[in-house]
Amino acid sequence: MNIIKIITSFFCLLILLNSLITVADSNNNLFSNEYNYDPPVIQLIYPKGGEKLNETITIKWIAYHSDNTYEHLNINIYYQTKNSENWIEIIKFLPNTGEYNWSTHNLLDNNYIIRILTIDEDNNIAIATSEEFTVNNGNKELEITNIIIKDNTINKSTWVKDCDNITINAIITGFGADQLSINNITADLTGFNLGKKVNPNSYDGKNAIWKLYYVKCIEYNNQIYVKIDVNDYINKICTINVDNECPKLTLNKPTNGIYLYNKKLFIPIEKTIIFGNIEFELDISDNSVIDRLEFYIDEKLSFTLNDNFDKFKFNNRLLGRHFIEFRLYDLAGNMISKTMIINIYNLI
């Protein structure tokens, strides 16, 4: 019989190849114990892979010794998310009943793998692993689905300017969104001359709201960038256009002189007198886009033009001296005003 002999300073260990371990101490007393080299057998029955599952899953397996006994085996069950290297414990030291009901209610919708492991009394290990299966309970991954930056002063979500009041609304959805608090959510508001990690004023489980007053715009390429972070690992960026420059407006017609049905008479005078209708001609420009032109008579809004700002006919019934004002707005709400006094006599 072959014997492997290991000598230490304390005792001699004899390992016999027929699975009998014999230990001799310094007094040549022998102690023997039988060792089982045969690992247990385990087979995963369900889920094997490819299934689409939800709610509670009944995991099924078969595990037994080589001598067909099974009652002394303990079962450990783990799961792993797709593309993850970490195994997460479901349960340990479970009696070898062949079934276990696993609740997936708190899992994100994803693909998963199950691993079942058993260790016998001699520390022999058996492992069975499934292929990928899908869990779908409607638990979508936590995400920032939308960010709305609104300039409340001009009631627009596309433009902003200095000194306006702003509301930022970050919409957060997915599994766990209702468990967040304002301390889990921050916004980088350096574009509004504020902090880099500013908590919202309120959060209702879906909408995180920041309220900013009398802002100072720190633009980059005529835009402000706002970054929203949730738990410092989920983030989204939104931009809004910045325009602090007023449009330009020059009144080309009418000027000082006398107009008869839109034609200027060559009579030099230092006032504007109009008989009949008149066509106003304006020279306008802006660094972005013109929004509207408002026309006032004696401080009352007469009409608004949304296009064709540079030339329009005026044929209102008016008599006498009147105060005329033009207010030209761009999309950011910047406004320039031009005024004039006319003497008009139009009975039509």
pLDDT in tens, 64-100: 887 767 778 899 999 999 888 899 999 999 999 999 9
Whether the Cβ atoms of residue 16 and residue 5 lie closer than 8 Å to each other:
no
What is the per-residue pLDDT for 225? 97
Max mean pLDDT range (3-7, 135-139, 222-226): 222-226
Whether the Cβ atoms of residue 18 and residue 36 lie closer than 8 Å to each other:
no
pLDDT band, residue 124 (cuts 50/70/90): confident
- CB neighbours (10 Å) of residue 334? 21
- Lowest mean pLDDT of 117-126, 127-136, 153-162, name the range: 117-126
Q: What is the DSSP string of 267-279?
A: ---SSEEEES-EE
CATH topology of domain 143-242: Immunoglobulin-like (2.60.40)
Nearest 5°: phi and psi at 122? -100, 15
pLDDT for 297 beyond 70: yes
pLDDT digits (tens, 9 = 90+) for 313-328: 999 899 999 999 999 9
Domain with CATH 2.60.40.10 in the chain: 41-135, 248-346
The CATH number assigned to the domain with range 248-346 reads 2.60.40.10
What is the per-residue pLDDT for 123? 84
DSSP 8-state code for residue 246: P
The CATH number assigned to the domain with range 41-135 reads 2.60.40.10
What is the per-residue pLDDT for 39? 82
DSSP 8-state code for residue 26: T
Best CA proximity match to 158, nearest among 229, 224, 65: 224
What is the per-residue pLDDT for 131? 94
pLDDT for 113 beyond 80: yes
What is the per-residue pLDDT for 251? 95
What is the per-residue pLDDT for 16? 40
Give the integer Cα–Cα distance in Å for 205 and 202: 10
What is the per-residue pLDDT for 162? 96
β-sheet with 202-203: strand ranges across:
143-151, 166-173, 207-212, 202-203
Whether the Cβ atoms of residue 247 and residue 329 lie closer than 8 Å to each other:
yes
pLDDT digits (tens, 9 = 90+) for 98-109: 999 999 998 989
Best CA proximity match to 5, nearest among 28, 32, 26, 23: 23
Give the integer Cα–Cα distance in Å for 181 and 1: 72
What is the per-residue pLDDT for 283? 95
Query: Is the pTM higher than 0.85?
Result: no
What is the per-residue pLDDT for 4? 35
What is the per-residue pLDDT for 147? 97
pLDDT for 221 beyond 80: yes
pLDDT digits (tens, 9 = 90+) for 153-185: 999 999 999 999 999 999 999 988 999 999 999
SS (HEC) of 125-194: EEEEECCCEEECCCCCCCEEEEEEEEECCCCECCEECCCCCEEEEEEEECCCHHHCCHHHEEEECHHHCC
pLDDT for 22 beyond 90: no
Whether the Cβ atoms of residue 147 and residue 116 lie closer than 8 Å to each other:
no
What is the per-residue pLDDT for 8? 37
- Rounded to the nearest integer, the mean pLDDT of the chain is 88
pLDDT for 13 beyond 60: no
Whether the Cβ atoms of residue 255 and residue 299 lie closer than 8 Å to each other:
no
pLDDT for 5 beyond 70: no
What is the per-residue pLDDT for 71? 74
DSSP three-state, residue 89: strand
Sequence-separated (6 or more) residues with CB below 8 Å from residue 4 = 14, 15
% pLDDT > 90, the chain: 74
